[in-house]
Amino acid sequence: MAENLDVMNPEEIYQQGFTYRCEGNYASARDAFERVLAADPGHLKARWQIALIQGFEGDFDASLEALKILSAEAPGNVDIRYDFAMTAMMLGDFDTACAEFRAILLVDPAHEKTLQQIIYCQ
């Protein structure tokens, strides 16, 4: 049974939204993340999750643009940058993806997922 989001604090709501997203329940996840953003409009993780949901729901261009903005706002967050790079790669923008992979490795030279993907870059 779903928890009552009205009695939870924003971080608890975020965690519930993340659970919904992992379960593929994107509508409930989006609702939870939007509630988090109503309380904290700058909540980076909630904005990131909504950007991912856009892609999962098929709005790849909006997802890519949102991830690009988030990557610029949080250049040290290699997880967001990785999702941006992977979305760019999926959409055929290999130059952007490879540039992001290289930038991630400057921040975290041991980033395992990036090391697996950079081999596709020349």
- By residue range, what is the domain housing residue 34? 1-58
Mean pLDDT computed over 82-102 = 97
Residues with Cβ within 8 Å of residue 72, at least 6 apart in sequence: none
The pLDDT value recorded for residue 1 is 43
Which structure tokens are listed for 33? 């993340």
Report the mean per-residue pLDDT for the chain. Answer: 94
Residues 80, 29 within the same domain: no
pLDDT band at 8; cut points 50, 70, 90: confident
Q: Is the pLDDT of residue 79 over 90?
A: yes
Q: Tell me: pLDDT of 17 over 80.
A: yes
CATH code assigned at 69: 1.25.40.10
Residues 41 and 67 in one domain: no
**Same domain flag for 6 and 36:** yes
Q: Are residues 49 and 66 in the same domain?
A: no
Shared-domain flag, residues 3 and 22: yes
At 73, phi and psi to the nearest 5? -75, -30
- Cα 117 to Cα 108: distance, rounded to the nearest angstrom: 14
* Tally of domains in the chain: 2
- Whether the model clears a pTM of 0.75, i.e. scores above it, the answer is yes
pLDDT at 3 over 70: no
Residues 69 and 54 in one domain: no
- Is the same domain home to 23 and 47? yes
Residue 31 to residues 16, 26, 76, 111: CA-CA distances in angstroms? 10, 8, 27, 31
